[in-house]
Structure 1
């Protein structure tokens, strides 16, 4: 049988059949190579944690401090997750569905906290209220930090829902509560639960806020063990426990999420839902959004500006410029490496359903559960055995790539999946190979979504603290490490210039990702939240 005959046969397969085709060898090979690199940190931790035998693992796991840390981490994630879920969903409903004044400005205010790292938000609250510390302080800070993830996810869903469905339900006698329960929630549930998962994983991985507030979670304990002892086996055991807890949470979320439900009542463009007139409650709704903005944006900006202008210490301009450049170079390098590694995985998951795809999906899930302090612990140990890599920029960029691989893969997968498969079929029927089709048809059409993923990884890498602290080259200071060095010894005024610059440069990709006037902004906002 000739190659053209094979191509013609594949051209007439249904989409379902095409989706089951075995992926090309070059795609499977590059995807497996990426996965083998990405799971290196987890493999090292597993070997190190069990190096002293299973009984030693049990001794560490069942220590009183380990159990207390487990419950601290779990309850912190539970409190923050529930609060972020309620506040984010209510904020999205007010902005999208009600007749408040200036909804676009409130959308910007709801998004901007993504540009402020949790450790910056924490230090500004401490500078304002010196006694600010403890568990509930951490709940407040992490809730303010993570609520935008839920808000953006809920906004994306509310914008996609066709009003014809709601009108039909009301015409059949459904109450407002019944419409919300039977029409809106089934469509919103997968996305909202996915954003809730992101909030929980964020709490699991946060290091800066809980360290400044003196709350013992797994990340703080792991870092303390790493700094205080040459034997890091116990730290590896705790790290594995944290990863397994995160994997369990991800598995539960997948079970609860179910399948994405999305339906339309007719052809053409979805009919937009008219805003609800809330009358005398309009000002209360705007006050609610304003208070969230004050806590997450107003306090840090006010504190930083007042500290900046009241600073008696001469600002080290050379250090500020060099740390800014270092931040941009490191985060840009990490984003490039992440997108390069994610490309074959994103295409594989978007176009093929095979055993390799399922293995890839599980491995990506595993990397998604690795906090920065865990990646740092593993790569420090690996890098120490390879002198050319130890404390080098390539190793730091690789750590960013592993940390944010799931974000990069998700953006590429979503973008490639939106390219109609029929275009691939036509391309192959004209004699182009799979690789040529990918380069000339699929990727150019998916480019906007790929760029979104790049900006998302760039934004997140700029703010990454624990991996940067542990893996940066000697003398290589980023804005995050300069902020940490100053706030860790309560020199808040010295940290202000670095924090202000970090917020400004992080606000640029944040705005580009979430501005409401861009086409497909609902899809972009959902990608940011997942």
Structure 2
């Protein structure tokens, strides 16, 4: 009986590896396309298109944007995390939730809100300001979770050696946050490379805005493809740099650590200034968008809530989000199962192929699919099939994360017992493991679907004529400076994003063991 179960498991592994390999091969299409176009264009023309003043200007803008935004996000996030997790600030749970809530507001809606309040906002510093407000929660979440997991005995030992509070923090606490800071910083850096709507609204040129502009003027131009290649190189450089900074230090501990909660530091006279920071941040990240939306909705009245426009955009958004989210979860399931049940070198290679595509900007994935469909399969150009494929590729890593964690919690012995009772390997996985992993699968679908809800660039470039999602309809109206009519679409995107934000917050608490 054990032998037959083992043979069945080997057969299951082979079939799952084949499916995962196919998904990995498809995920490599954007990178393969960039390399193919580079070869087809010819070295001389590639040099002419890349080594020119316009590319240099975009590169300088990108470097400045990253160099100024990320350090500010680090300082703000670490400070906020310390206040909410390590101090006796009143209402710590409320401030913690408000620090994560800005993720419910899409970045281009942040920009829309601030442009409505300060019409003259434009350029680098405006881009840095809005980017910090929109993206700092990506750093706050891992840093706050890391602070909750730290062993308080380490800080006690540092204090017993005569170190003051500040030196304890910088010498004992901050080094242990490096992994969380590096991971969150990389996520923000990749978002800055991919962001389009935010920077267009404040008239700050980046590679993403230049690629879309080039695409709109000539949809299959070598210039747009080469800009996409430079953007991919920037992504790979950022990932390599983050790995170098992160290093190979060990951050795990042996044993459970100190069996007591961390002593929260008393703020005393600094309580009011400490409350002022999260309060001001909440007002800027949530108050301004809320007031702006309420203002435009009030000015527009009930006339702007038309079912033939707002309702239709909502329906199309939900349909695309559900289909894309479900297919992303299905595509990620074989790799998620392999990563838990059959780890090894091949598994790590295939898993890397699944994850890398999530680091690519949507504009690069869309550009690759546009060019491939135009050159090779023209009937698929600007079809729902191509748009859904782009969504699956972009949000494949999100689906992987939720599925892998849930499958890991399903005991492999139950699969083997099912096979011993006469089930085939496929039946055992479907009827036992995937049922146990259903909550994680649902979370994976929700994460992917809500990401699709706010996706802009790929939808603009790939959607069929007549398709209007909440994001694209919002974008077309703001491009016409019709902020009143755009408000309902922004409001609906925020409403649909709130469950994702709550899910991330709750998951962060669970990961930290709370």
Q: TM exceeds 0.5?
A: yes
For 2:315 and 2:302, the matched residues in 1 are separated by: 22
Deviates more, 1:204-213 or 1:312-321: 312-321
Q: Which of the residues 328, 338, 341 maps onto 1:338?
A: 328
**Matching residue of 1:123:** 112
Deviates more, 1:42-51 or 1:245-254: 42-51
Q: Which of the residues 89, 94, 113 maps onto 1:100?
A: 89
- Asked whether 1:400 is paired with 2:398, we answer no
**Matching residue of 2:286:** 297
Q: Offset at 1:229?
A: 1.9
Q: Offset at 1:126?
A: 0.8
Q: Offset at 1:177?
A: 4.7
**Matching residue of 2:308:** 318
For 1:65 and 1:467, the matched residues in 2 are separated by: 23
Tell me the secondary structure at the aligned position of residue 203 of structure 2.
coil
Deviates more, 1:393-402 or 1:319-328: 393-402
**Matching residue of 1:391:** 382
For 1:288 and 1:498, the matched residues in 2 are separated by: 31
Q: Offset at 1:432?
A: 6.7
Q: Offset at 1:295?
A: 1.2
For 1:179 and 1:436, the matched residues in 2 are separated by: 55
**Matching residue of 1:57:** 46
- Asked whether 1:521 is paired with 2:509, we answer yes
Verify the 8 A CA contact 1:396 1:471 in the aligned structure 2. yes
For 1:41 and 1:234, the matched residues in 2 are separated by: 16
**Matching residue of 1:477:** 468
For 1:162 and 1:420, the matched residues in 2 are separated by: 29
1:340-381 Cα deviation digits (max 9, x unpaired) = 111112222334343322322332343123211111112122
For 1:229 and 1:162, the matched residues in 2 are separated by: 57
Kindly tell me the number of residue pairs found equivalent between the two proteins. 511
For 1:295 and 1:219, the matched residues in 2 are separated by: 26
1:450-484 Cα deviation digits (max 9, x unpaired) = 33332222221111100111111211101101111
For 1:95 and 1:136, the matched residues in 2 are separated by: 28
- Asked whether 1:354 is paired with 2:352, we answer no
Deviates more, 1:301-310 or 1:224-233: 224-233
1:152-199 Cα deviation digits (max 9, x unpaired) = 111211222233444455456555455445653454322321111100
Deviates more, 1:142-151 or 1:79-88: 79-88
Deviates more, 1:351-360 or 1:135-144: 351-360
The 5-angstrom pairing of residues 28-47 of structure 1 reads 28-47=17-36
- Asked whether 1:233 is paired with 2:222, we answer yes
Q: Superposition RMSD on alpha carbons, in Å?
A: 3.0
**Matching residue of 1:4:** 2
1:77-99 Cα deviation digits (max 9, x unpaired) = 22211111111121111111111
The 5-angstrom pairing of residues 429-468 of structure 1 reads 435-436=426-427, 438-468=429-459
1:191-225 Cα deviation digits (max 9, x unpaired) = 32111110000000000011111111100111111
Tell me the secondary structure at the aligned position of residue 67 of structure 2.
helix
For 2:504 and 2:255, the matched residues in 1 are separated by: 30
For 2:316 and 2:250, the matched residues in 1 are separated by: 41
Verify the 8 A CA contact 2:88 2:265 in the aligned structure 1. yes
For 2:232 and 2:431, the matched residues in 1 are separated by: 39
For 2:254 and 2:5, the matched residues in 1 are separated by: 34
For 1:218 and 1:372, the matched residues in 2 are separated by: 12
**Matching residue of 2:253:** 263
For 1:284 and 1:111, the matched residues in 2 are separated by: 21
Q: Which of the residues 132, 143, 168 maps onto 2:132?
A: 143
For 1:332 and 1:297, the matched residues in 2 are separated by: 27
| TM-score normalised by length of structure 1 | 0.88
For 2:423 and 2:105, the matched residues in 1 are separated by: 46
For 2:328 and 2:445, the matched residues in 1 are separated by: 8
For 1:301 and 1:433, the matched residues in 2 are separated by: 54
For 2:124 and 2:69, the matched residues in 1 are separated by: 11
Verify the 8 A CA contact 1:165 1:264 in the aligned structure 2. no
For 1:173 and 1:449, the matched residues in 2 are separated by: 46
**Matching residue of 2:270:** 281
Q: Offset at 1:494?
A: 1.4
Verify the 8 A CA contact 1:459 1:510 in the aligned structure 2. no
Verify the 8 A CA contact 1:115 1:506 in the aligned structure 2. yes
List alignment gaps of at least 5 residues for structure 1. 12-20
Taking a change above 3 Å as real, the CA distance of residues 455 and 150 of structure 1, as seen in their structure-2 partners, is: same
- Asked whether 1:80 is paired with 2:78, we answer no
Verify the 8 A CA contact 2:383 2:463 in the aligned structure 1. yes
**Matching residue of 1:244:** 233
